[in-house]
Structure 1
């Protein structure tokens, strides 16, 4: 074994030892479960979370899908404030951020599938939904997760019920619905790195039929570095500031009908995220043989000494790229009607708009070489109508779906490539239509089988201009997705399931088609992307003190496009490398009450990805660690007067991974493994409505690479923006 592998083994020794201990605890608990004489009468300490992953309410153990769920009220204690944090605690999930250096983007990768780009001609492989509404764009998607009901992470293709762009999985964010309960909650947070956060949530009934809730907040955090050559920059590197709000109104004249109108908006701004550039200084490197441009005067080739010495500082001389912003707003209307004891309908209609400003200075120096100020916007409209019901031992979910998105990206104003003018204009209009049905049947009280099918029809029209005239193209795709599953409840209450799931994604046009300079025919879309997943799993409560889930999967992808970016004539060229990929692995989660006050949650994911050789090179799945793990012990101490103190530690591990689809060591895109630790100590007084907590996030101040990209002339190292933070959180209900 070489020294690199030895180092990796040493790094894994501690987390794997702890996970082995946790697994041993759970497995020994299974023996106790078999010896229990009447486990049904035991009082469970573990919350049975109800999820809507299959568009029907089910206890999480009964869903024949690998799924993780987080209760909204417990997210802050675990150090989870956005989707990036969720990616630290779910097996085989990794959430990165890149998207032209924006601090608000969220790029989920599940089981080796995701997308690091953000331009309008690209689509993510993991879909994100808020209250049943699909979010089409990844910039601005890093949602603030205050005062929500729960988060559901579905792993594996979800093509039947969730449609296109869910070939890797789906993430559901479910907000709190209005009801007649009167609740007012204020949360204040302050800490190091200039953290200032305030959040207000109000829920109340206006009449017997009308209720509402409102959530509004402000969140600010300082940056990690300075723009050393732009003294008048408005924000520091990595600085964030966000204002957000959400209002929901519910009209429920009776128990069988309800109408919920929800509006939300956010306004985010801040500094370009931390990154640095490694210049290729060999005599054939483009920067080495070129000349500096701008002030100071040209004086030979660009060198690594021109980049900021501190990688969290930025040496750009272009003020236009120092600031990022995003604004988004949406409105949705959800109607539920139970028109008989056995049949119900649901309609979800939404309209969303988003826009952003961002852009990188790729060379990371004061010279006007490669910098790309960028703007983009998108408007989407969607509608879904469901008909659901029961026929004796049969149940079904069915519906029709329509989605339209119009968006654009613009580079050109103040944009430069190799010191010359640069232009990129992308426009796309995409429409998706689908019809779906899923039917379940209870063969016995303990055995349920289900099957579903979905027909998808998609069309895209796109226009690209890279400075040599607009090129227009359009294409359409159709696909039938399916799933089959069986779920069997064992005598001890555990649930054994097996499933076959397929997923689908429509083709995509090139994101940065500077290939047009040499090949005017290159602006064409890729073929359908298809995925089929075979999975077996076991989950449920072993005893009243122990729950667990384990899943084994094998997924096959056809016509999967990997994004490959290089410098080319006219600009930064991104093309699709189409591959076949096979992913197989195992996922584990468990919760154990060691004592009444001591709880231990663990997760473990392992994935092995094979990609077919392309042109003599074997690509790798980008941003996909082979091993993911987390350990979260918590202890609640109840005092004699009824007050309580809860101490919690959350440990997260992500193994090494490649930043792009190449494993060539010479490309230097291998990202090291990382271990992150959060802590939370909260105090709840007896008979009081307030809580105070001391928190620490990334308490050992682990600095790590979030992504890497090699263009052939230089390597972009996109770095983390979640350095250590310590502070106080206060919450009051009244």
Structure 2
């Protein structure tokens, strides 16, 4: 805390010094043309709309390892410019969960903000935040791959643009990009003195500040410094005095970048960044009570209570009695939790070093090197479930532990990675090419504990906070007092060589072929299960060749058509949530895509279309249950991951439209249709075939925006409004239960270009709102506590197939629990550019 306070003082002091040395404005401000996500936002500063007319700006992307015009790049890409991020008040990647890019899905794992699930085109892993599991969408910062989901919700620095590359990117970007890639590009040092400073405040006690300082070039070296801070108080209060509420965050970070250009044609970029994210999860509410009307007796009397993958004939026991002080609320977001529990912030820390070298050794080739070291640490404290998350407790409880509740989910993860990439990029005759070699080395380890933190009395009318060291069956939440549910370590090495070339026999016809060979080496150990040492290990070596083939035709001025075949794969691994460290294999995707990138009416209308068919084999499916551990004789929550048989079908259509009908006015709309179907899978806990689903993937999703800029007495008035919709989706692979559909509106009004004392110093004043209409919907719904239990095994050990009892217990049923989206937030901001 002392370091945190000291950092903030230094941030404010730096801001004061900047304010005294220059009169600033907002470097992040852009003209109204193309300010919205999805193939519309400009990547660089452009003149004001009144100077440029109503034409749409060109968008520069680096999806092919070289800078190209978006409209002439035969890949489905959405671009979020710096202006779009500012207009939507995007402070971290989780803010893109509103649906700014309909094909891009962002969600938290469970209610936690310590790990983000990121998916594109139906490639959305449910639980990739384990050391031996991989993501399905690659996330990159300045060309550097980020190996873990942890730390992805850190504050964004001075971002130039975010490129969302849709569909498999296996040839140029490598493994774990079967759904696509999300590439974050930060602003490089300019070598010209200047910068921006901004500060803002809003509801829930929020405040933020940013400083971006470009220093003059000295001895061929340019330096840029960035500092950022973001704070928001809890949106759901914790009734327990002195404890953190829910959906709170306190982030800060620093980045230093240097560009060295010792001679013509050679550029060396070096950077260091660090981030600190203190946060708490979203609150998990009890949404209903016994929603399936489960009763003891024949299954026919309660058919909706059957746990998927089981086939009981009789329900036994009785549904939990609802404690009087537990609140059932499935329609509105709770402002105050029904029960106060111990809750302290989770802490994510990230830092990294990058060296990016470029040398144009000849007119036909540029040699590049990207070297990076990165570390992530995550200390999770998640007590968001209260009386609603397993194990549930009802009235009439008894015994020394039978009345305990509120599962405090504690987990630590530490990761280190090193990567080295070499590239040769260039052009000769009628061929553009990129070839390269890549090496990645990662070590990650984790541990977890889940003590109960509270206890009911027998009537459910009073609550006791348990001793944090011994209160949960002799254990507690303090690090030295924990019962370790699991502890594991995993190592991964990846080697790759790749190449891609585009041949243009005539100016309007382009043939692209590429491929990547990848060799992965993975091993790991699950060395603690249920607080006891275990001998479980895994080792998995895989190799893949991922080809790409594209035909592109410039059919006319402003009309570019393409057909693309691409593949990608996601590495296999082992589940550390499994009692036995069960292994699973890789999954592979093949995609067939056609698209059109068009502009009409003198570049005032832009319409981009894409349709694709994707087949995935080896889909990694998660099944969760309470599993018996014969070594300790105890039960624990377990996740087993298996590969689905046959082909998973993913089909989709995407459309992006941008129109500049009048000078200063931009209208944009985006739509994504995604159909998914996984073949039935055998439930590893029951041996029964059942239907499974792809999570967080809406069948229909859409986004639209209106942007307007107009001169106003020497200033510029800017208006932004966006609306985002998505159909309801599943939360879990094994349950058909869906979340709610979502509709979120964001807005911003700004007065820009306010002169300060003459010269180029400009001030921007703005007011912004996210979720403007305070729409409330459940983004995560868990039916675990509303279905019958797993029938007991009645066959002898080792007998195959396993025989289960015909009875299913309903004694642990209480109701669905889940999480509502973030409430309406709003604020004001002042920014100075100098």
TM-score (norm 1): 0.86
In 1, distance between residues paired with 2:323 and 2:175? Answer: 43
Q: Which residue of 1 aligns with 2:168?
A: 157
How far is the alpha carbon of 1:620 from its aligned partner?
1.8
1:403 aligns with 2:414: no
How far is the alpha carbon of 1:155 from its aligned partner?
0.8
Q: Is the 8 A contact 2:114 2:346 kept in 1?
A: no
Q: Is the 8 A contact 1:317 1:368 kept in 2?
A: no
Q: Is the 8 A contact 1:602 1:630 kept in 2?
A: yes
SS class of match (1:254): coil
How far is the alpha carbon of 1:54 from its aligned partner?
1.2
Q: Which residue of 1 aligns with 2:490?
A: 428
How far is the alpha carbon of 1:597 from its aligned partner?
2.1
Q: Which residue of 1 aligns with 2:665?
A: 598
Change (3 A) 1:275 1:661: same
1:107 aligns with 2:174: no
Name which one, 1 or 2, has greater alpha-carbon Rg: 2
Q: Which residue of 2 aligns with 1:708?
A: 781
How far is the alpha carbon of 1:401 from its aligned partner?
0.7
In 2, distance between residues paired with 1:216 and 1:123? Answer: 31
Q: Which residue of 1 aligns with 2:693?
A: 620
1:68 aligns with 2:78: yes
Q: Is the 8 A contact 1:318 1:368 kept in 2?
A: no
SS class of match (1:609): strand
Alignment of 1:123-272 (within 5 A): 123-228=134-239, 230-233=240-243, 235-272=244-281
Deviations 1:529-554 (A, max 9, x none): 10000000011322321112110011
Match of 2:565 among 486, 492, 500: 500
In 2, distance between residues paired with 1:116 and 1:314? Answer: 27
1:97 aligns with 2:119: no
SS class of match (1:635): strand
Unaligned runs of 5+ in 1: 1-41, 289-299, 517-522
Match of 1:469 among 496, 515, 533: 533
Q: Which residue of 2 aligns with 1:55?
A: 65
Change (3 A) 1:537 1:362: same
In 2, distance between residues paired with 1:414 and 1:610? Answer: 38
Q: Which deviates more, 449-458 or 137-146?
A: 137-146
How far is the alpha carbon of 1:704 from its aligned partner?
2.2
Change (3 A) 1:97 1:603: same
Change (3 A) 1:416 1:104: closer
Match of 2:619 among 555, 560, 566: 560
In 2, distance between residues paired with 1:387 and 1:462? Answer: 34
Q: Which residue of 2 aligns with 1:14?
A: none
Q: Is the 8 A contact 2:372 2:420 kept in 1?
A: yes
Change (3 A) 1:255 1:705: farther
Q: Which residue of 2 aligns with 1:357?
A: 379
In 1, distance between residues paired with 2:385 and 2:261? Answer: 58
SS class of match (2:172): helix
Q: Which residue of 2 aligns with 1:672?
A: 740
SS class of match (2:190): coil
Q: Which residue of 2 aligns with 1:723?
A: 823
Match of 2:367 among 345, 361, 368: 345
How far is the alpha carbon of 1:496 from its aligned partner?
0.5
Match of 2:596 among 538, 544, 567: 538
In 1, distance between residues paired with 2:275 and 2:816? Answer: 29
Deviations 1:393-437 (A, max 9, x none): 112111111111111111238579996555211211111111111
In 1, distance between residues paired with 2:221 and 2:519? Answer: 39
SS class of match (1:75): helix
Change (3 A) 1:490 1:717: farther
In 2, distance between residues paired with 1:263 and 1:716? Answer: 45
SS class of match (2:95): helix
Change (3 A) 1:323 1:284: farther
In 2, distance between residues paired with 1:451 and 1:227? Answer: 57
In 1, distance between residues paired with 2:438 and 2:675? Answer: 35
In 2, distance between residues paired with 1:360 and 1:682? Answer: 38
Q: Is the 8 A contact 1:546 1:592 kept in 2?
A: yes
Change (3 A) 1:404 1:307: farther
In 2, distance between residues paired with 1:358 and 1:733? Answer: 38
How far is the alpha carbon of 1:103 from its aligned partner?
2.1
Change (3 A) 1:93 1:56: same
In 1, distance between residues paired with 2:366 and 2:697? Answer: 41
1:682 aligns with 2:682: no
Q: Is the 8 A contact 1:204 1:211 kept in 2?
A: yes
Q: Higher relative CO (CA 8 A, sep ≥ 6), structure 1 or 2?
A: 2
Q: Which residue of 1 aligns with 2:578?
A: 513
In 2, distance between residues paired with 1:530 and 1:220? Answer: 41
Match of 1:452 among 488, 509, 514: 514
In 1, distance between residues paired with 2:418 and 2:783? Answer: 36
Deviations 1:628-678 (A, max 9, x none): 101101222223x332211111101111111112454xxxx3111111001
In 2, distance between residues paired with 1:680 and 1:446? Answer: 41
SS class of match (1:85): helix
1:635 aligns with 2:700: no
Q: Which deviates more, 574-583 or 472-481?
A: 574-583
Q: Which deviates more, 356-365 or 620-629?
A: 356-365
Q: Which residue of 2 aligns with 1:692?
A: 765
Match of 1:303 among 307, 310, 322: 322
How far is the alpha carbon of 1:369 from its aligned partner?
6.1
Q: Is the 8 A contact 2:282 2:384 kept in 1?
A: no
In 1, distance between residues paired with 2:704 and 2:288? Answer: 39
Q: CA RMSD in A?
A: 2.5
How far is the alpha carbon of 1:221 from its aligned partner?
0.5
How far is the alpha carbon of 1:613 from its aligned partner?
2.1
In 2, distance between residues paired with 1:52 and 1:275? Answer: 41
Deviations 1:327-352 (A, max 9, x none): 11111111111111111111111111
Change (3 A) 1:280 1:192: closer
Change (3 A) 1:144 1:372: closer
Change (3 A) 1:158 1:416: farther
In 1, distance between residues paired with 2:641 and 2:136? Answer: 14
Q: Is the 8 A contact 1:272 1:358 kept in 2?
A: no
Alignment of 1:377-392 (within 5 A): 377-392=414-429
Change (3 A) 1:369 1:683: closer
Q: Is the 8 A contact 1:489 1:496 kept in 2?
A: yes
In 1, distance between residues paired with 2:344 and 2:324? Answer: 21
Q: Which residue of 2 aligns with 1:660?
A: 732
Q: Which residue of 2 aligns with 1:35?
A: none
Q: Is the 8 A contact 1:396 1:440 kept in 2?
A: yes
Residue-pair matches, total:
664
Deviations 1:63-90 (A, max 9, x none): 1111001111341113322222334111
Q: Which residue of 2 aligns with 1:572?
A: 637
Q: Which deviates more, 366-375 or 180-189?
A: 366-375
How far is the alpha carbon of 1:317 from its aligned partner?
6.5
Q: Is the 8 A contact 1:237 1:312 kept in 2?
A: no
SS class of match (1:205): coil
SS class of match (2:556): coil
In 1, distance between residues paired with 2:373 and 2:190? Answer: 24
Q: Is the 8 A contact 1:97 1:116 kept in 2?
A: no
In 1, distance between residues paired with 2:88 and 2:285? Answer: 30
SS class of match (2:623): strand
Q: Is the 8 A contact 1:448 1:488 kept in 2?
A: yes
SS class of match (1:227): coil
SS class of match (1:61): helix
In 2, distance between residues paired with 1:576 and 1:717? Answer: 23
1:484 aligns with 2:549: yes
In 2, distance between residues paired with 1:621 and 1:349? Answer: 35
